[in-house]
Amino acid sequence: MTRARRIGRRLLGPPFDYLLFLRPRQWPILTAQLAVGLLADPTLGGALAARGALPGTAALARPDVLPWAWLAWVLCLNGGTLAYNSAHDRDVDDIAYLRAPPPPPPRLAAFALLLMAAGLLPALLVSPRFAAVTAACTLLSVAYSHPATRWKGVPGLDLAVNAVGYGGGTTLAGLLAGQAAAGRPDAWPDGAGWLLAGGFALLFGSFYPMTQLYQIAPDRARGDRTLATALGATRSLDLALLLAVGAAALLLAHPVPRAVPQLVLGLALAAWFLAAAAWRRRARQLTARQHEARMYTALVLWALVDAAVLLGLYAGR
């Protein structure tokens, strides 16, 4: 047991395990992706660039929606989704963002459902459209993990749910939160916004098989027919490479004011593709722990793509 876990259990007792299964290590990642969508809103972006302002300053018509958006999407929806999945999987090996998980608490599934449902209240404080996207992704989360539907066990459908929910949904939620903060809660994103959301949906589609490769053995032992157990490591990474090409096409089609930021984005996407190609070449020789390490490397490359997108949106203003 790590020192952090010992301290957490000393302070909170048994309820600390509920917090663990919300997987706080993922919160900064979802926060960053939500922020990409938020800062990509053209009205909000123009105001921030013109005034040299940061979110929460006078440049925003409704800065109060930003913490509500984070609470609804990152803590309640994302945390609840991961906890709900763990409640049904009952993992004993490493899972994403949580190593050596403890046994799931007995009421973890009910707790996770209540948390996701509670997230709809702060979501409504952001905007009706933001709440609608949050509600739709909540339903996807339940269908993904619940034994009656178990979309997680349908190869291809599991990827689609994650691409739409995490990649596209998080970016779209950020765009809607940005529009609400800029004083336009009743608008959908423009064409450029949909390109951005679609590009990140495909990029997460590329990332999703990478999250499963180190779990192939326990998934097969449990009888879960996930995308990675159905395709195997090499063909899963072939699919990841194909989806990366689609993601690059959409993200590079997003209009930017100058060529240099476009080049930076192209280099970041090329780094993603080359890392996946190198992974694919060695896929059969890698251990589960090595697959897991490469998954976390891919997260670093994702952050570079995020930074390159924002550079393209702001460098030419």
Identify the band that residue 311 occupies on the pLDDT scale cut at 50, 70 and 90: confident
pLDDT band for 8, please (50, 70, 90 cuts). Answer: low
pLDDT at 92: 67
Distance CA 38, CA 312 (A): 15
Higher pLDDT, 48 or 269: 269
Compute the average pLDDT of residues 183-197. Answer: 90
Q: Is the pLDDT of residue 268 over 80?
A: yes
Q: Tens of pLDDT along 32-61?
A: 999 999 988 776 665 555 555 444 444 567
Looking at the predicted structure, is the pLDDT value of residue 259 above 80? no
Query: Over the range 142-177, which residues count as b (16 or more CB within 10 Å of their CB) and which as e?
Result: bebbbeeebbbbbeebbbbbbbbbbbbbbbbbbbbb
Q: How far apart are the first and last CA of the chain?
A: 49
| pLDDT over 90, % of the chain | 62
Question: What does the pLDDT read at residue 62?
Answer: 84
Amino acid sitting at position 235? R
Name the nearest CA neighbour of 171 among 191, 194, 197, 192.
197
Q: What is the mean pLDDT of residues 251-257?
A: 77
**pLDDT at residue 135 above 50?**
yes
pLDDT of residue 226: 87
pLDDT of residue 56: 43
Average pLDDT for residues 90-115, to the nearest whole number? 83
- Which pLDDT score, from 0 to 100, does residue 49 have? 56
Question: For residue 257, what pLDDT is reported?
Answer: 56
Q: Indicate if the pLDDT at residue 193 is higher than 60.
A: yes
Question: Domain 7-314 adopts which CATH fold?
Answer: Farnesyl Diphosphate Synthase (1.10.600)
Of the chain, the percentage scoring pLDDT greater than 70 comes to 87
Q: Is 218 left (phi over 0), alpha (psi -120 to 50) or beta?
A: alpha
> What number of residues does the chain have?
317
Contact 94, 212 (CB under 8 A): no
Q: What is the spatial distance between Cα 115 and Cα 101, in angstroms, rounded to a whole number?
A: 20
Is the pLDDT reported for residue 205 higher than 60? yes
Give residue 55's pLDDT: 47
Task: Spell out the domain ranges in the chain.
Answer: 7-314
Cα 238–219–235 angle (5° rounding)?
10
Kindly tell me the burial class for residue 218, based on how many C-beta atoms sit within 10 Å of its own C-beta (0-12, 13-18, 19 or more).
middle
Q: What angle do CA 44, 316, 201 make, to 5 degrees?
A: 60
The pLDDT value given to residue 57: 45
**What residues are paired with 98 via a beta bridge?**
95
**Which position has the higher pLDDT, 148 or 221?**
148
Query: What's the rounded Cα separation, in Å, for the pair 206 and 191?
Result: 23
What is the token pair recorded at 308? Answer: 């390159």
Token output for 298: 């891919």
Summarize the confidence of residues 137-153 as an average pLDDT: 94
Task: Give yes or no for a contact between 185 and 258, defined as CB atoms under 8 angstroms apart.
Answer: no
Residue 26 has pLDDT above 60, yes or no: yes
Determine which of 8-17, 81-90, 208-217 has the lowest per-residue pLDDT on average.
8-17
Mean pLDDT of 235-256: 92
pLDDT of 212 > 80? The answer is yes
